[in-house]
Structure 1
Amino acid sequence: KVLVALVFYVLLNILAAYLFVLIEKHPDNNYTDEWFIFNLEKKFLSSHNNCLSTEDRRFLLKEVVVAYKAHLVNNSHSHPDWSLNNALLLSFSIASTIGYGTVVPNTPGGKVFSLTLAFIFIPFTGLLAAKMGAILAYYVKKSCRSIFGSSPRTKYIGVLVTFLLGLILYVVMPTMLLRFVGNEENWDFLDCLYCVIITLTTIGFGDYVPGLKEKLHSFNFFVDPSSHGGIFTTMTVIIWVVAGLAWFATIINLIGNVLSKRAKE
């Protein structure tokens, strides 16, 4: 049942992503950031022809572009690339409360749809992770009892085993994969570890996103649909995050059982 619920959850996110594309993707949004920068440069140079030298004007404009790339300038002309993969990232960032902020709705319809998704998907994500965590906790306790018996230390061993296994599966392995397999962004080990933990804890600053890379000839940051499998990579991230949340729920479940039994004693 949990596996069916997980598949249903992923399919719901894909459906929501498709609806986001239909709502947000308009023909008038097809212009690129290169076009915007070109026009900005043209207008700036013509407007300040008498105030600054050509070298000073170009230097100042270069600083503006650098700030724009670093997301320090609020650019109302910039629109995300509304591919299905990008929309899926947005849908899941709402559902998981990660909220990367790399892809956001621009239209009133998209904003209303985002609010609707939040009310529906966030409880679903929490319930799914809690259910998966309860099942994992049950099998961990059962396995520990069969191996170590019913001694008082078995409970603590179960918590330790769950923590170590989860640490390897959901933190160490994804960090290694980001560092040595899918490192299009040329992140170092600390960056990869930072990205994994910030994502898994749903903090989601948005400065580092799995699968996110800077296009060499664009001033817009977005998830490239051709990047390491595109939408399939995003689906893998969805399953990984939900499983990671279930791991957290499992640890909390096991610790809660230990503390409740100690309180009764």
Structure 2
Amino acid sequence: MQFVPRLPTILLLGVVYVLYLLIGGAVFWTLEGEHVGENLQTLREEKSRVLRKYTCLDQDSLEEVAQLVRSASKYGLSLKSNSTADGFWKFTSSAVFAATVVTTIGYGNISPSTMYGQIFTVFFALIGIPLNVVVLNKIGKYMLNIEKKFCEFVAKKTNRKKCVRVLIHSVSFVLLAVLYFVAPVLIFQQYEGWTHAEAFYYCFITLSTIGFGDYVADDNPDRHYPEWYGSIMAAWIFFGLAWLAVLINHSIDLLEHFNEYLKQKREGNADTTDATQEKDSTKGQ
């Protein structure tokens, strides 16, 4: 019986969730569908042009070249200079790959190709993903606790608790947003050659652990990266994930509090209605 009253809320959330996905699909379909069609037409024309220009190439030869390009991309080989991406499948890149597994970012730019590597990835992820969630939550709570203690310290000095909390939380949010989004955008623009929009897009896709893999930093074999670049990247991803986890938890708490507020308001209105009806009934008697 306790479960029955909750059923409408669950159904409502399910309907909202499905509608949200369908609306998102419709928007992506509208924004990207026509663009893909144009690109496919351009590629067909470019393919015909290449075959006409290089008469020694037939369909089979073109497929061989395409396979070579795909393989070179998979293993980080530059077709311009025969060089590979710095540290590709060496210890540093392997450690970064391990991090993308446990954080569920999964760019897809590199992946294990041996049977033993694939099997190890499965067991490594089974243990590493829960461990990563625990560590990030602990780090996020620690960061939040430092902020709360600083708020309490300043509030005691000023005797304006609510104003101080709002101000410090706002300043903290702005500073961390600059640290994890604005500053990386400038760095990626310089060392990756991306636009501001592409760099910001990469930052969000990475820190939200979506990880499409269409943009991957420190992965271009035709670019030279400084030695500190990889370490800064790792630190940015780790603490950025912790910070974003705090923001997501805050958002969930706000939605739950808002839901509780609406529930209490409905119950209060129902009690008021019952009391009014009871009062009117007494007067009638």
2:176 equivalent among 157, 166, 172: 166
Q: Residue 100 of structure 2 contacts residue 106 of structure 2 at CA under 8 Å; is this kept in 1?
A: yes
Q: Aligned partner of 1:234: which letter?
A: G
Please name the residue that 2:57 is paired with. Answer: 58
Please name the residue that 1:86 is paired with. Answer: 93
Offset at 1:144? Answer: 2.4
Correspondence 1:234 to 2:191: no
1:193-248 CA distance string (max 9 Å, x none): 22222111111111111111144xxxxxxxx8x7321xx53333222111011112
Once residues 64 and 166 of structure 2 are traced to their aligned partners in structure 1, the CA distance between those partners, rounded to angstroms, is 56
Once residues 160 and 88 of structure 1 are traced to their aligned partners in structure 2, the CA distance between those partners, rounded to angstroms, is 35
Please name the residue that 1:179 is paired with. Answer: 189
Offset at 1:257? Answer: 6.3
Q: Residue 195 of structure 1 contacts residue 208 of structure 1 at CA under 8 Å; is this kept in 2?
A: yes
Aligned counterparts, 1:1-265, within 5 A: 55-58=54-57, 65=65, 69=69, 75=71, 79=75, 81-148=88-155, 149=159, 151-180=161-190, 183=191, 185-215=192-222, 227-229=225-227, 233-254=229-250
1:124-143 CA distance string (max 9 Å, x none): 21111111111111121222
Number of matched pairs: 196
Calculate percent identity across the aligned residue pairs: 27
RMSD: 3.5
Q: Residue 105 of structure 1 contacts residue 111 of structure 1 at CA under 8 Å; is this kept in 2?
A: yes
Q: Give the unaligned 5+ runs of structure 2.
A: 1-50, 77-87, 265-285
SS of match in other structure, 1:91: helix
Whichever structure has more helix as a proportion of its residues is: 2
Q: Residue 175 of structure 1 contacts residue 196 of structure 1 at CA under 8 Å; is this kept in 2?
A: yes
Once residues 192 and 154 of structure 1 are traced to their aligned partners in structure 2, the CA distance between those partners, rounded to angstroms, is 34
Please name the residue that 1:23 is paired with. Answer: none
Offset at 1:99? Answer: 0.3
Structure 2 CA distance for partners of 1:109 and 1:236, relative to 1, 3 Å: same
Once residues 93 and 54 of structure 1 are traced to their aligned partners in structure 2, the CA distance between those partners, rounded to angstroms, is 42
Structure number with greater Rg is 2
